[in-house]
């Protein structure tokens, strides 16, 4: 039965009835199928991975859970994060959030949601935002170097992470410290079928540009590298190239310099290239097996990449130096030993690189030692693992989970006991399974499994995994939580699942069988000193710093601590840290192995529930009172169950709660009253309260509905009545308005008839005689108005050459229409002239003058109209010699061209240069460019031309001039129209008289010896300009054929 009306299943498993494994799984499945992935066990959050994005995150939900207490809204990870943060901020209590679960259960995503919530609700400011951004950006960097695709999870964390986020007194983040645990470095050299190496290798190959790959001596194809699984190079839904850019940006935000990022990528490339160093079998001269490198190119590239001597690296990979206090012995490694050394080096480099990255992040986000701070820890660590073949890694992981379970049970009981004591409720001892005996079996300093493993690793003589197992069988043969083939045989038990090289531990979550193969090697975790020294000699700053033991000055013969002892020490430190803080738990569960949305495997979830101890947790929390609530909240929810407290209670909250419980006849055994809370023992009592509340709410809803319906009907009736009154009044008013309108219209009509009758009567009496003139004048004015308005709307375009004009509808207006046409044309011309420059006006004046002189008189005139008057046809401006012909006369040369002079004696033609200035006409010799004749414009008496298409003209001179005594000039010009136009204007400007231009085919020319009559005739078919011949006929006649 759900606690809240709109809830799915039971939101808090403490209230589950009946309390059993089946009902717990059924409740989780019901909520999962309805996309309710979070469920409570008291203050513990159980999270089932939905394998899809749900719309239950973001700023809206953060604001929602920020304003409510833990139990007021649906179960959510934000509620737990809010409770932890508020406890840290308001109560000054350091917090830790423990996130556990199998690979693929959503631990990494849960830790991201916790950090995003804390980042959203804590303080603002430039420095605070910078710290928050650095803390959040540490996730993509650690995921790239510490996460990989596994069979169970596409983004599985292959290391444990504990982050302490440190806050100031106001709750604003100052920085943090990250601690990493047990990176799965064996994945660097080998992956199971269907799995990938760490993400960074694929991101680097996919996302680096060609220049970076060339600098790192890498190929983009993953198939080129032995350490990368060839079967799985891509993961659905994961963009390695984009993620590489994200990692680079995140490292920059955290504080990595560009040089440090380059170092990290170079060391990563070094690990990839180590896998491609191919080793081969060789034999020494004495026949002892040895090893060598097939192709030295790979070692050479590694040396160039990190500044390492290739020969030294090859020697370190293929031999080993044994050093004692007295001597050194160099031993060649066989093929298998050399492969082990190569892989060990690759694993150590990557493991140390990962530790350095964590150290570098901590350097950026650490807080000064002098600042007073509060701490919230977030633990994202691997869950309990039971595989088909469990080795050393599963052993230490399960040991860590045993310790976390111990902490969980102890702190949960401690929290319960403290709450009972705080509220003054008697504490009853709770029976539970204490897994301390299992922890002691593993971690005992003298007789524990880890101690025996270390002892076997340090013991001189022949040491193997079998001798280690024999020692365990001897020590723990009678231990209740230890089994092996030997102990089973002693008890005459047969178990075909137990191998000869295996032992089994009965953990809190179930029995796990471990194979001791490689326990000794993995615990030793040795790297030959030759390899450490070779790495230290590299000229690469980062790689050299990763191997400080390679420094000859710091060489120590002391054996380094084993992997088991280091992990035990780390777990002890972690436990001490957790005990010092207030714990908060998130238990992550994956619903299926296929990572499919909507699928819920009951068997798989049951196994994880057992690993996580969910049922045990519920039993511990229900051992005393299953439900407790603050008096005020309890009274607010259930006050309608008592007439004394409903609808308003004015007394104390505790007294109101007691009134409710008394009237409901709840027995005293089922409840207890603390100082601030009421405690209810059985969930049935709470369900009874909820059932009574539902019944009362139904009664109240019925009452509210009845009251509301009555109010609504009354309101509706009043509105209808008001509307009816309004409509009636409007209708009556409208009818009266219409009646008034009809009366008014009738009155106006009668008045109009009367006024018309009176007007007609007066008109007949006074104005009938002058009506025709008045009407005629009115009609004329109307016609004139229509004519002018029509003309206004149909004016032709304002182009000068456009001579169109609308005709008049009435002949009466023809004269006015022509005058208006002329005015409009003159206006257009004036407007056109106003737009012209002085030079353009001058050109038009010349053309106008030419039109007045020659239009309709000279056949060659039409050809000259479109041609522009140039004035200079002999290149006068660029010829200084010709410019001298002008003499000292001021002013421009108006016309300069070559003309032909007709000889007076024989009619032959001779070329002359003619210059027309403002005062003279100058004729000069074309060959010598010497002036022959200078004629003043005042001496020019007239000009005679023909009407034909020719250039012949006669220049008549006055007899009183100095040149006139020689006679007139008969000349031929190719630009006759332009020459005579300019000469006409020049004479007019110089003498203020018009130059006579006579058009005739027969004219007289005065020469020195007498006058000659020139007769011009046209050839049959018409003449062409320039085709002209002169022929002397007699002494006084000259015939010119054109």
Give CA–CA dist 794/804, Å, rounded: 11
Six token digits for residue 996: 């006579």
> Is residue 140 within 8 Å of residue 247, measured between CB atoms?
yes
H/E run at residue 629? strand 627-630
> Is residue 1038 within 8 Å of residue 1015, measured between CB atoms?
yes
Angle between helices 335-365 and 529-536 (to 10 degrees): 50
Give CA–CA dist 176/867, Å, rounded: 94
> Is residue 1026 within 8 Å of residue 974, measured between CB atoms?
yes
Other beta carbons within 10 angstroms of residue 610's beta carbon come to 16
DSSP code at position 559: P
Give CA–CA dist 67/58, Å, rounded: 15
Backbone φ and ψ of 407, nearest 5°: -65, -40
Six token digits for residue 516: 């001791």
H/E run at residue 1002? strand 1002-1006
Six token digits for residue 1032: 């002397």
Give CA–CA dist 186/184, Å, rounded: 6
Residues with Cβ < 8 Å from 221, sequence gap 6 or more?
205
DSSP code at position 886: G
Grouping H, G, I as helix, E, B as strand and the rest as coil, residue 724 is helix
H/E run at residue 293? strand 289-293
> Which residues are part of the catalytic machinery?
103-104, 108, 153, 156-157, 383, 385
Q: What is the largest CA-CA distance in the chain?
A: 170
DSSP code at position 51: S
Give CA–CA dist 38/29, Å, rounded: 11
- Strand 44-48 relative to strand 582-589: parallel, antiparallel, unpaired? parallel
Rg (alpha carbons) of the chain, rounded to whole number: 58
Length of the chain (residues): 1042
Give CA–CA dist 953/407, Å, rounded: 132
> Is residue 592 within 8 Å of residue 608, measured between CB atoms?
no
């Amino acid at each position: 039965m759900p606690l809240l009306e709109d809830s799915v299943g039971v939101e808090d498993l403490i209230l589950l009835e009946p309390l059993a494994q089946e009902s717990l799984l059924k409740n989780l499945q019901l909520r999962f199928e309805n996309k309710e992935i979070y469920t409570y066990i008291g203050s513990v959050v159980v999270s089932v991975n939905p394998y899809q994005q749900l719309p239950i995150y973001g700023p809206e939900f953060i604001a929602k859970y920020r304003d409510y207490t833990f139990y007021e809204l649906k179960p959510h990870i934000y509620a737990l994060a809010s409770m932890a943060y508020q406890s840290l901020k308001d109560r000054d209590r350091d917090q830790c959030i423990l996130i556990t679960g199998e690979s693929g259960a959503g631990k990494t995503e849960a830790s991201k949601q916790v950090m995003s919530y804390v980042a959203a609700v804590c303080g603002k400011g430039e420095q605070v935002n910078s710290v928050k951004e650095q803390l959040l950006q540490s996730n993509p960097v650690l995921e790239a170097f510490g996460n990989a695709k596994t069979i169970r999870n596409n983004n599985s964390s292959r290391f444990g992470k504990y982050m302490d986020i440190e806050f100031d007194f106001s709750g604003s983040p100052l920085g943090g410290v990250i601690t990493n645990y047990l990176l799965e470095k064996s994945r660097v050299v080998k992956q199971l079928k269907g799995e990938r190496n760490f993400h960074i290798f694929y991101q680097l190959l996919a996302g680096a540009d060609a220049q970076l790959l060339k600098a790192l001596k890498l190929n983009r194809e993953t198939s080129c590298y032995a350490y990368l699984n060839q079967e799985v190079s891509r993961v659905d839904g994961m963009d390695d190239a984009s993620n590489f850019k994200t990692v680079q940006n995140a490292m920059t935000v955290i504080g990595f310099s560009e040089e440090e990022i380059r170092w990290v990528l170079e060391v990563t490339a070094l690990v990839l290239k180590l896998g491609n160093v191919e080793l081969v079998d060789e034999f020494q001269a004495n026949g002892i097996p040895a090893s060598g490198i097939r192709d030295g190119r790979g070692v050479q590239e590694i040396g160039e990449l990190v500044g390492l001597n290739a020969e030294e690296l090859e020697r370190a990979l293929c031999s080993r130096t044994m050093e004692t206090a007295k001597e050194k012995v160099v031993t060649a490694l066989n093929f298998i030993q050399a492969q082990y050394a190569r892989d060990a080096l690759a694993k150590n480099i990557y493991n140390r690189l990962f530790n350095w990255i964590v150290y570098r992040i901590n350097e950026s986000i650490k807080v000064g030692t002098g600042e007073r701070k509060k701490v919230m820890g977030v633990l994202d660590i691997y869950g309990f693992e039971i595989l088909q073949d469990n080795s050393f890694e599963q052993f230490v992981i399960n040991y860590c989970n045993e310790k976390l379970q111990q902490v969980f049970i102890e702190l949960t009981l401690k929290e319960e006991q403290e709450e009972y004591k705080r509220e003054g409720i008697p504490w009853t001892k709770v029976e539970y399974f204490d897994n301390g005996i299992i922890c002691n079996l593993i971690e005992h300093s003298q007789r524990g499994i880890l101690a025996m493993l270390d002892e076997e690793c340090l013991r001189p003589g022949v040491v193997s995994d079998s001798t280690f197992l024999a020692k365990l069988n001897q020590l723990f043969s009678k231990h209740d939580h230890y089994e092996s083939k030997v102990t089973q045989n002693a008890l005459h038990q047969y178990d075909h699942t137990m191998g000869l090289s295996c032992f089994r531990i009965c953990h809190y979550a179930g029995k796990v069988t471990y194979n001791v193969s490689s326990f000794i090697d993995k615990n030793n975790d040795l790297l030959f000193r030759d390899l450490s020294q070779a790495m230290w000699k590299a000229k690469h700053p980062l790689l050299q710093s990763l191997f400080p033991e390679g420094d000859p000055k710091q060489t120590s013969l002391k054996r380094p601590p084993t992997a088991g002892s280091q992990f035990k020490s780390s777990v002890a430190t972690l436990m001490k840290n957790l005990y010092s803080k207030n714990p908060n738990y998130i238990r992550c569960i994956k619903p299926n192995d296929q990572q499919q949305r909507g699928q819920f495997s009951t068997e798989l979830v049951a196994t994880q529930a057992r690993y996580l101890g969910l049922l045990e947790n519920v039993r511990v929390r229900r051992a005393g009172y299953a439900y407790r609530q603050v008096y005020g909240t309890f009274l607010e929810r259930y006050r309608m169950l008592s007439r004394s407290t409903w609808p308003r209670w004015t007394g104390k909250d505790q007294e109101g709660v007691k009134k409710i419980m008394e009237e409901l006849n709840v027995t005293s055994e089922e409840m207890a009253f603390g100082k601030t809370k009421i405690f209810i023992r059985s969930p049935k009592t709470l369900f009874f309260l909820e059932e009574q509340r539902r019944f009362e709410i139904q009664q109240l809803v019925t009452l509210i509905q009845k009251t509301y319906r009555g109010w609504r009907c009354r309101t509706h009736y009043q509105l209808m009545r008001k509307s009816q009154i309004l409509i009636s009044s409007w209708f009556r008013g409208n009818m009266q308005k219409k009646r008034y309108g009809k009366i008014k219209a009738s009155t106006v009509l009668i008045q109009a008839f009367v006024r018309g009758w009176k007007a007609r009567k007066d008109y007949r009496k006074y104005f009938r005689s002058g009506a025709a003139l008045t009407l005629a004048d009115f009609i004329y004015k109307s016609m004139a108005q229509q004519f002018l308005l029509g003309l206004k709307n149909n004016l032709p375009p304002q182009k000068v050459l456009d001579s169109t004009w609308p005709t008049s509808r009435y002949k009466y207006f023809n004269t006015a229409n022509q005058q208006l046409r002329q005015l409009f044309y003159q206006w257009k011309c004036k407007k056109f002239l106003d737009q012209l420059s002085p030079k353009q006006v001058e050109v038009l004046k010349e053309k106008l003058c030419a039109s007045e002189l020659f239009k309709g008189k000279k056949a060659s005139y039409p050809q000259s109209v479109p041609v522009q008057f140039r004035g200079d046809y002999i290149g006068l401006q660029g010829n200084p010699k010709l410019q001298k012909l002008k003499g000292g006369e001021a002013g421009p040369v108006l016309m300069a061209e070559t003309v032909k002079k007709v000889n007076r004696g024989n009619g032959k033609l001779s070329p002359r240069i003619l210059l027309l200035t403002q005062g003279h006409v100058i004729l000069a010799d074309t060959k010598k460019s010497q002036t022959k004749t200078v004629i003043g414009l005042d001496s020019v008496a007239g000009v005679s031309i023909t009407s034909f298409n020719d250039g012949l003209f006669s220049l008549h001179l006055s007899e009183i001039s100095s040149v006139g005594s020689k006679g007139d000039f008969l000349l031929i010009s190719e630009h006759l129209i332009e020459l005579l136009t300019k000469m006409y204007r020049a004479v007019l400007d110089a003498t203020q008289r018009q130059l006579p231009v006579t058009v005739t085919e027969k004219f007289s020319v005065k020469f020195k010896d007498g006058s000659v009559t020139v007769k011009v005739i046209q050839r049959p078919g018409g003449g062409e300009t320039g085709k002209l011949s002169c022929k002397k006929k007699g002494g006084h006649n000259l015939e010119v054929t054109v």
